[in-house]
Amino acid sequence: MDRSDLVVLTLRSGVDHAVGDGYAAGMENLAYVVGDRATGEALLVDPSWDPAGVAAAAGRAGLRVTGVIATHDHPDHVGGSLFGLPVPGVADLPGPLPVHVHRAEADRLARRTGLPAAAIVPHDHEDEFRLGTVRIRVLHTPGHSPGGACWLVDEAHLFTGDTLFVDGCGRVDLPGSEPDALFRSLHDVLLPLPDGVVVHPGHDYGGREATLGDLKRSNPYLAAPDLATWRALMGT
């Protein structure tokens, strides 16, 4: 496709949407609109805290929301109960819209959000699908959660959720987390990608985006050469 047709909008919770919500601002979640100008279609990535506000950003850009990508099932990304706090999310969008998620997270997502099974589109590692003329490739990157995935858009933009941040990586002390699996996800799945790929993380921890090449040089979690170094970094 003509890269000029690809639209990527970044929205930080408490700043660009969910304005005035102190909890949303404190979590520093990043939601995204990925759109194709050629067809006018858009997907929302992790539209939590204020899903209507994220969808409205797509509308202001002249795009029609046709679905959602869920990087993983944690409530600050998809909605649900966060330590007893109700967080709006994917189930609050009209439709319901189809929600793309890795297969290992599909049942967890349904339980977490109340989405009907028919609305959930499960994917496996290296699956591909299209948003209009935009190609999206699914990369299973477990470790922070069993079905955590990164979503590679047009081989140029990588939406990493809580797998990788600009200045860090996801926690591995939560139910379903596995420290060594996250090392393998970073080392075996993400490191081989081209340096020019732009990383769009799930939280504004150290920045809203960076090239993968920059993170290979600056992020010690991504650069850990072996499991022993990784375990020392993670304190496991």
Please, what CATH class does the domain formed by 3-234 belong to?
Answer: alpha beta
CA gap 114, 12 in Å, rounded: 25
2: pLDDT strictly greater than 60: no
CA gap 218, 213 in Å, rounded: 9
Handedness of CA 152, 208, 32, 220 (dihedral sign): positive
Please give the structure tokens belonging to residue 98.
């189809």
CA gap 216, 154 in Å, rounded: 21
Domain edges within the chain: 3-234
Please say whether the beta carbons of 77 and 105 come within 8 A: no
Relative to beta strand 157-161, strand 149-153 is antiparallel
pLDDT single digits (tens) 123-174: 999 999 999 999 999 999 999 999 999 999 999 999 999 999 999 999 999 9
- Confidence at residue 1, expressed as pLDDT on a 0 to 100 scale: 41
CA gap 98, 80 in Å, rounded: 17
pLDDT single digits (tens) 178-198: 999 999 999 999 999 999 999
Q: Residue 96's pLDDT band (boundaries 50, 70, 90)?
A: confident
- Confidence at residue 173, expressed as pLDDT on a 0 to 100 scale: 92
Percentage of the chain exceeding pLDDT 70:
99
Residue with tokens 């349904």: 110
101: pLDDT strictly greater than 80: yes
The 8 Å CB, 24+ separation contacts for 174-181 are 174/74, 174/144, 174/145, 176/108, 176/145, 176/146, 177/143, 177/144, 177/145, 178/142, 178/143, 178/146, 179/143, 179/230, 179/231, 179/234, 179/236, 180/143, 180/227, 180/230, 180/231, 181/142, 181/143
Q: Which residues pair with 123 in a beta bridge?
A: 102
- Confidence at residue 95, expressed as pLDDT on a 0 to 100 scale: 84
pLDDT single digits (tens) 67-95: 999 999 999 999 999 999 999 999 999 98
120: pLDDT strictly greater than 60: yes
- Confidence at residue 126, expressed as pLDDT on a 0 to 100 scale: 98
Instruction: Tell me the pLDDT of the chain averaged across its residues.
Output: 96
50: pLDDT strictly greater than 60: yes
Q: Residue 236's pLDDT band (boundaries 50, 70, 90)?
A: confident
Q: Which residues pair with 35 in a beta bridge?
A: 7, 42
pTM of model > 0.85:
yes
4: pLDDT strictly greater than 80: no
Report the run of H or E that residue 230 belongs to, with start and end: helix 227-234
Measured CA to CA in angstroms, residue 42 lies from 17, 76, 77 at distances of 17, 21, 18
Kindly provide the b/e burial profile for residues 197-215, where b requires at least 16 CB atoms within 10 angstroms of the residue's own CB. Answer: bebbbbbbbeebbbebeeb
